[in-house]
């Protein structure tokens, strides 16, 4: 049957249903227009320009280099930019975001103190995570807690998804230049424009001067070598830095000026029935208690068990080590899941579940102790390595997190996720600030000098960075045959090439001073 109802004045047009609403483009909505008007300001323009400059500098000083002193200087500049942008006279800056700057700066300073490429990836991941949380807090987005699924979702949405929809905003911020009253901003823009015009002219003149005077050309070449100036790379920095800066500007402008929905992710904690988790824990604990009880003497018998079984140090230490570590990580995840997802009574876990979780964490602790003991046996026989140190560090962090979960079972009011997050951040700060590779080199060299029959323990020095160079001085009194046996000259040459390949300006580290002195003596 045809719909005979028509809209008044438009013969033949059907009447829309009552729930119908005509489509309005986003850029025509009042919310978008309000967002655009706030962006079109001196502060909006400044942060747009700074975002582009910071991204170009990041590529030049950190991304393409092995950062040293550039890391803390760059992070300080980035934080100052954020402070300028998000500070308002009538609204205090989020206190938690300010406190998170302390571990972030400590991690950045670690890049200046020493060069440990083997552990820097952990520092970088943690540092990026901290900065993402800080940006969400500075944007005054409502979250359940800083270490929650809600925070993770908001980081993904507001820092990696929404900026794509706001890419036009950094360009809109230049609309402030149309305001004739804003003479200061216009003058700054004209200065920037003059700099952009002067750069190619200065480059042409520099090229002519270099060709005209050989002494001047040598001085320019020395300066370029010192700061690691590469015109081709600078061009690439600008080419990639411009879109990256626009993206960063869109993210920052969106965090500050876009209207956010005051909505948090629904808290899924406490949604599983007590009987389910209690039964599950009981079964898991039976296996853990059986394993720990049956093999307790074997796990902690040490060298006596090695003699009985006829296993070598390597076989004993490796046998089941990674299985124990994997089991420990799984048990840790189970305990954290049970504490968070079990239904509470008056805010407390049932006694059955609390005791089961404590037993689970205690059993996991025994597994960790067993794994650590095996690792120490392996280290005593074959020396230290990056993987062995990182494994010990990870097990120490897991052990401390287990303590927080045991405390949670008795003091339910404690935010265990927050304390676990703090423990991980503190652990990464310690790992970053300690010169791990220097400790490894020191231990392995001392072990070799005590037992010269095992030269393989020193061969690992070749895999470390130049920060381990000072420990090589202990080997200078060896006989020529011993030096040849451990390939000392090859190790020294490798350290020289590593040090020479670093940027003398951006990549400067404190440990390079001592390393240079030692390498200069070995010439």
Which of 14-28, 152-166, 239-253, 503-517 comes out lowest in average pLDDT?
A: 14-28
Q: How confident is the model over 443-458, as pLDDT tens digits? A: 888 888 887 777 777 7
Query: Between these two residues, 47 and 191, which has the higher pLDDT value?
Result: 47
Of 346, 398, 150, 269, the C-alpha closest to 277 is 269
The pLDDT of residue 350 is 76
The CB-based long-range contact list for 303-307 (8 Å cut-off, 24+ gap) reads 303/377
Q: How confident is the model over 181-219, as pLDDT tens digits? A: 556 666 766 777 777 777 677 777 777 777 777 777 777
Instruction: Judge whether residue 172 has pLDDT over 70.
Output: yes
CA atoms 111, 116, 122, 124: torsion sign: positive
Q: How many CB atoms lie within 10 A of CB 286?
A: 10
Q: CB–CB of 447/383 below 8 Å? A: yes
Coil, strand or helix: which one is 272?
strand
In terms of average pLDDT, the best of 17-21, 313-317, 345-349, 360-364 is 360-364
- CA dist., res. 261 & res. 259, Å (int): 7
Instruction: Judge whether residue 331 has pLDDT over 90.
Output: no
Instruction: Judge whether residue 303 has pLDDT over 60.
Output: no
Could you please report the per-residue DSSP string of 75-89? HHHHHHHHHHHH-BT
437 sits in which H/E element:
helix 436-450
Instruction: Judge whether residue 299 has pLDDT over 60.
Output: no
In terms of average pLDDT, the best of 71-85, 290-304, 348-362 is 71-85
Instruction: Judge whether residue 2 has pLDDT over 50.
Output: no
The pLDDT of residue 133 is 94
- CA dist., res. 371 & res. 326, Å (int): 10
Instruction: Judge whether residue 362 has pLDDT over 90.
Output: no
Query: Between these two residues, 225 and 205, which has the higher pLDDT value?
Result: 205
Coil, strand or helix: which one is 61?
helix
Mean pLDDT of 115-134: 92
Quote the tokens at residue 247: 């993206």
Strand extents, DSSP E, 1-153: 6-7, 10-14
Residues facing 345 on adjacent strands: 348
Instruction: Judge whether residue 13 has pLDDT over 50.
Output: yes
End-to-end CA distance of the chain: 99
Quote the tokens at residue 426: 């503190």
Contacts of 112 (CB under 8 A, 6+ apart): 68, 69, 71, 72, 508, 509, 510
Which of 44-48, 140-144, 309-313 comes out lowest in average pLDDT?
A: 309-313
The pLDDT of residue 247 is 95
Answer yes or no: pTM beyond 0.85.
Answer: no
The pLDDT of residue 329 is 79
The pLDDT of residue 100 is 94
Q: How confident is the model over 247-269, as pLDDT tens digits? A: 999 999 999 988 877 665 566 56
The pLDDT of residue 297 is 59
Instruction: Judge whether residue 424 has pLDDT over 90.
Output: yes
Query: Between these two residues, 330 and 2, which has the higher pLDDT value?
Result: 330
Percent of the chain with pLDDT over 70: 83
- CA dist., res. 349 & res. 208, Å (int): 79
Q: CB–CB of 435/510 below 8 Å? A: no
Instruction: Judge whether residue 23 has pLDDT over 80.
Output: no
Q: CB–CB of 335/405 below 8 Å? A: yes
SS3 letters for 137-191? HHCCCCCCCCCCHHHHHHHHHHHHHHHHHCCCHHHHHHHHHHCCCCHHHHHHHHH
The pLDDT of residue 422 is 93
The pLDDT of residue 453 is 74
Query: Between these two residues, 229 and 433, which has the higher pLDDT value?
Result: 433
- CA dist., res. 65 & res. 74, Å (int): 13
Of 46, 325, 350, 16, the C-alpha closest to 182 is 46
Contacts of 174 (CB under 8 A, 6+ apart): 45, 48
Q: CB–CB of 62/120 below 8 Å? A: no
The pLDDT of residue 4 is 47
Q: How confident is the model at residue 35 (pLDDT cuts 50, 70, 90)?
A: confident
The pLDDT of residue 128 is 94
Instruction: Judge whether residue 340 has pLDDT over 90.
Output: no
Q: How confident is the model over 480-500, as pLDDT tens digits? A: 777 777 777 888 888 888 888
Task: Count the alpha carbons within 13 Å of 454 in the hemisphere toward its beta carbon.
Answer: 14
| Average pLDDT along the chain | 80
Q: How confident is the model at residue 1 (pLDDT cuts 50, 70, 90)?
A: very low
Region label for 347, one of left (φ > 0), alpha (ψ between -120 and 50) or beta (otherwise):
left
């Amino acid at each position: 049957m045809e719909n005979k109802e028509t809209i008044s004045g438009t013969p033949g047009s059907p009447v829309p249903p009552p729930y119908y609403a005509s489509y309005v483009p986003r850029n025509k909505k009042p919310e978008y227009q309000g967002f655009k008007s706030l962006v079109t300001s001196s502060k909006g323009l400044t942060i747009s320009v700074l975002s582009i400059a910071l991204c170009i500098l990041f590529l030049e000083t950190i991304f393409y280099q092995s950062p040293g002193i550039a890391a803390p200087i760059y992070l300080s500049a980035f934080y100052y930019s954020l402070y300028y942008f998000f500070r308002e006279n009538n609204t205090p800056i989020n206190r938690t975001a300010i406190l998170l700057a302390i571990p972030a700066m400590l991690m950045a300073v670690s890049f200046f103190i020493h060069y440990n490429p083997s552990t820097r990836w952990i520092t970088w991941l943690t540092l990026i995570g901290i900065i993402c949380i800080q940006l969400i807090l500075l944007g005054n987005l409502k979250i359940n807690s800083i270490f929650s699924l809600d925070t993770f979702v908001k980081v993904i949405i507001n820092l990696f998804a929404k900026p794509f929809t706001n890419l036009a905003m950094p360009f809109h911020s230049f609309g402030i230049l149309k305001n004739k009253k804003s003479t200061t901003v216009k003058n700054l823009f004209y200065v920037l424009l003059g700099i952009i015009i002067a750069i190619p002219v200065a480059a042409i003149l520099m090229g002519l001067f270099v060709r005209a005077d050989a002494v001047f050309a040598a001085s320019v070449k020395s300066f370029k070598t010192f700061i690691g100036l590469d015109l081709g790379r600078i061009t690439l920095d600008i080419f990639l830095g411009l879109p990256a800066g626009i993206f960063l500007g869109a993210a920052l402008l969106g965090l500050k000026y876009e209207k956010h929905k005051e909505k948090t992710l629904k808290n899924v904690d406490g949604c599983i029935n007590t009987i389910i988790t209690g039964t599950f824990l009981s079964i898991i604990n039976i296996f853990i208690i059986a394993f720990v009880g049956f093999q307790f003497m074997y796990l902690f018998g040490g060298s006596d068990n090695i003699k009985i079984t006829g296993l070598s140090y390597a076989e004993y230490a490796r046998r089941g080590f990674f299985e124990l570590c994997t089991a420990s990580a799984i048990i840790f995840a189970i305990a954290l899941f049970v504490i968070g997802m079990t239904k509470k009574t008056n805010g407390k876990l049932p006694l059955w579940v609390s005791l089961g979780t404590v037993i689970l964490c205690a059993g996991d602790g025994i597994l960790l102790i067993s794994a650590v003991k095996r690792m120490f046996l392996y280290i005593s026989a074959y020396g230290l390595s990056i993987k062995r140190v990182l494994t010990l560090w990870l097990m120490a962090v897991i052990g401390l997190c287990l303590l927080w979960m045991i405390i949670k079972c008795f003091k339910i009011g404690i935010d265990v996720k927050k304390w676990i997050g703090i423990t991980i951040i503190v652990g990464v700060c310690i790992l970053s600030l300690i010169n791990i590779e220097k400790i490894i080199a020191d231990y392995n060299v001392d072990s070799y000098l005590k037992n010269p029959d095992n030269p393989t323990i020193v061969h690992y020095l070749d895999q470390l960075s130049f920060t381990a160079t000072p420990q090589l001085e202990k080997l200078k009194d060896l006989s020529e045959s011993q030096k040849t046996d451990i390939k000392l000259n090859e190790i020294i040459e490798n350290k020289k090439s590593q040090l020479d390949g670093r940027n003398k300006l951006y990549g400067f580290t404190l440990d390079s001073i001592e390393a240079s002195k030692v390498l200069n003596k070995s010439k």
